Structure 1
Amino acid sequence: MGEKAGEKERSLASPLKRAETQLTSLENRLSDAAYDYKFLLNRGYSRDLALQAVTSRYLLSEKERLLLYRCIHSDIEIETIKKKESQDYREILIDGFNLAISIISASLGEAYMCDDGYIRDLGMGRFKKEKEMIVASLKLINEICISMGKLCTFVLDAQISKSGDMAKTVKLFGGSTILSKTVDSFLINAESAVASNDFVILMKAKRIVNILQNRIKVNSPFFSC
């Protein structure tokens, strides 16, 4: 009886062990790919060439490619972003849709903490038309601003469907909004501190603030650099 029970336990443990081994292998492969990708970026390779090289070397899936592209940066890029982070501000301009979508993605386990300290998702804007979810996320951001003692203005893309309706709803819970047809340009040229996770905006804006860091739960990617 004891021998049969032991055999049954071993038979159950074997698939579990294989699954654990496969997961470890996945983590190691992505970690190695991220290390090589960052190395190439630091050596001056373009993102496209570096990503093409590691994709071919490690046979990355489309999601894995996107994860590295969105979450790994060169040391110089990270330093540039960190130097712009400011605490000397009273008003924050919020990149509304980008941050709201990342909060939605985080609630679904689809957002990641990237190596520059900013939270990003892999959905590429697929929740932009989810009015109720967007508004709920903007309300959460507004509460974060209030807890920080800062004035927040949400900058929303006027070309996105129902953005006008969303702006009206935001005003109901005390939030201020600006509708713009050129959100990226508006934020990049603003004198106020900007809260965004868009890499281009972070690199080009005059002052930035990371309001979501340590405030929402996200995945840690299968890599460390």
Structure 2
Amino acid sequence: MENSKITDKVIEAAYDYKYLLSRGYPINASLDLVVSRYMLSKRERLLLFRCIHSSKYVKEIGGKLVCMKLNGYTLILDFYNVVISTINMLRGGEVYLCDDCVPRDLRGSKLHNDDYAYMPKALKIVTQVIEALKPKQVVAVVDRDVSHSYEHAFSLYIELKSVGINYLFELTSSPDSKIIDYSKNDYGYVVASTDSLIMMRSLRVIPLTFYIMNILKINPVYNFAWIFSSECPVCSDKFV
């Protein structure tokens, strides 16, 4: 797979990988098997890992996705997960619609030095979506180990304050665990993240990056949700 080209080989591997996962075989063993059989590259392996899941997982996530205004709910924002995804879109990076109806990319979870120039615009776009969703409050969970994390989190505070959204942020060295602590309790929380583990442990998930993809008029490189006939909520029709 070079750049945005998806070969028949990758699609066949995706079917086999999903088949194994859906029958309860371990992720790593299943991935190793299909990568070896189809002689996939590291990038193709990563694509399968991030975008293909068991049928049970996809069904469970489908039951958690909410497409609605968040009046009365607190939005728990996986800060760098959402912001880095937005920066990738702004930079013209590849985006795939995965079989669980969630857009993901293959660029990794760390900020690069040349990403920082895109941070102000990314925060404005995130603010635009959150303003439209109208949550009662936003709590951003921010990785304190990222350079300038306080400044980034505070910049979003300034943006959200300007549109009347209540906003708190927490700096932590273990953001995933902190988000899961929030999300496993039913206190009117809705989680914004594309992390599969966080999504599985959350009661409700808002596909924030899907809205961002629509605002930026980005078409996914490949639509695995369509290939596997996933029942995705039509969030774009309910976004106001």
Same-fold call, TM cutoff 0.5: yes
Secondary structure in 2 matching 1:122:
coil
Q: Deviation per CA, 1:9-32: give whole Å up to 9, x if none.
A: xxxxxxxxxxxxxx6xx5211111
Aligned residues: 201
1:122 is matched with: 106
Q: Contact 2:180/2:201 (CA < 8 Å) preserved in 1? A: yes
Moved more, 131-140 or 38-47: 131-140
Output the CA distance in 1 between the equivalents of 2:99 and 2:12. 15
Q: Deviation per CA, 1:81-119: give whole Å up to 9, x if none.
A: 122234565221111101111122223232211110111
Q: Are 1:93 and 2:65 counterparts?
A: no
1:73 is matched with: 53
- Could you tell me how far 1:182 is from its partner in structure 2? 2.0
1:197 is matched with: 194
Q: Which runs of 4+ in 1 moved over 3 A?
A: 86-89, 128-132
TM-score, reference length from structure 2: 0.76
1:172 is matched with: 158
- Could you tell me how far 1:45 is from its partner in structure 2? 1.0
Output the CA distance in 2 between the equivalents of 1:50 and 1:156. 33
TM-score, reference length from structure 1: 0.80
Moved more, 177-186 or 193-202: 177-186
Q: Deviation per CA, 1:49-87: give whole Å up to 9, x if none.
A: 111111111110111100010000001111121222345
Secondary structure in 2 matching 1:174:
helix
1:5 is matched with: none
Output the CA distance in 2 between the equivalents of 1:58 and 1:222. 21
Output the CA distance in 1 between the equivalents of 2:111 and 2:146. 11
Moved more, 109-118 or 128-137: 128-137
Output the CA distance in 1 between the equivalents of 2:140 and 2:10. 36
Structure 2 gaps of 5+ residues are 162-166, 229-240
Amino acid at match of 2:220: N
Q: Deviation per CA, 1:174-195: give whole Å up to 9, x if none.
A: 3523222221112112141110
- The 5 A counterparts of 1:6-25 are none
2:145 is matched with: 159
Q: Contact 2:83/2:122 (CA < 8 Å) preserved in 1? A: yes
Output the CA distance in 2 between the equivalents of 1:219 and 1:156. 27
Correspondent of 1:210 among 207, 218, 221: 207
Taking a change above 3 Å as real, the CA distance of residues 120 and 80 of structure 1, as seen in their structure-2 partners, is same
Correspondent of 1:137 among 100, 122, 130: 122
Q: Deviation per CA, 1:102-143: give whole Å up to 9, x if none.
A: 122223232211110111111112426533423432321121
Amino acid at match of 2:133: M
Larger Rg: 1
Structure 1 gaps of 5+ residues are 1-22
RMSD of the alignment, in Å?
2.1
2:63 is matched with: 83
Moved more, 104-113 or 213-222: 213-222
Secondary structure in 2 matching 1:100:
helix
Secondary structure in 1 matching 2:7:
helix
Secondary structure in 2 matching 1:219:
coil
Taking a change above 3 Å as real, the CA distance of residues 128 and 179 of structure 1, as seen in their structure-2 partners, is farther
1:9 is matched with: none
